[in-house]
Structure 1
Amino acid sequence: MKARAGGPDHRPPLISEHDRDAAVHRLQEAYAEGRLSHEELDESLHQVLTAKTHSDLASFPEENESTIAAVSGRIRRRGVWRVPRILKVESALGRVHLDLSRAVIEHPVVDIEVHLGTGNARITVPRDAIVDVEDLRTGWKDPLYKTRRRSRPGGPMIRISGTMGLGRLKIRHARR
Structure 2
Amino acid sequence: MKITKTKVFFFFLTAIILTNHSFAQKVAGYSFDKYPAKEIYKGQKVKVNLKSSNTANSYRTEITNQYNESKIDFAGKYSFIFWGAGTGLTIGAMVDNKTGNVYDLPLTEENSTRGFCGYEISEEDNKLYKKNSNLFITFTWSCEENEITKTNVITKNYSIFIWDEANKKFSLLKNKTEKKTEKIPTE
The alignment's TM-score, normalised by the length of structure 2, stands at 0.25
The alignment's TM-score, normalised by the length of structure 1, stands at 0.26
Who wins on radius of gyration, i.e. which is larger? 1
